[in-house]
Amino acid sequence: MLKLTSISQLSSRSALPPPYRPAVEHALQNLGPDLTARGFVLFVERNDTLAEINNCCSRDISTSLEGTFIDGNCLIGVVLWGSSGEGVTIVCPNVDDYADEVADVLRKYL
């Protein structure tokens, strides 16, 4: 998984496949300029497990997703930590055999 807190990190993250960059950029832009106060964007990689994502989000996403949607070829999930809007935006490519546990949870909430 890749944990991102600013758009400037995208240029240094060669591991982020180009087809998924737009969805990650949108997620980062939606958090606004001060990401340290707003949370972070989590890009799910192919072999990431649900347990790893839950640990990084500090929540069980199967019970704490505030919403999900599709952006291009990615599933997007939002987990809020409280009522102030801080949290995690999860970006997971919507392709077969890709982080199946995580993608299944996100698809369930579409």
Show Cβ contacts of residue 91 under 8 Å, excluding neighbours closer than 6 positions. Answer: 20, 23, 24, 27, 41, 42, 43, 44, 71, 74, 75, 76
Could you read off the pLDDT of 17-53 as tens digits, one per residue? Answer: 889 999 999 998 887 665 556 789 999 999 999 999 9
Q: What is the mean pLDDT of residues 54-62?
A: 95
The predicted structure's pLDDT at residue 29: 85
Q: Give the length of the chain.
A: 110
pTM: 0.92
Could you read off the pLDDT of 69-106 as tens digits, one per residue? Answer: 999 999 999 998 877 678 899 999 999 999 999 999 99
Burial of 29 (0-12, 13-18, 19+ CB in 10 A): exposed
Write out the two tokens for 81.
Answer: 């930590």
Give the SS3 label for residue 94: coil
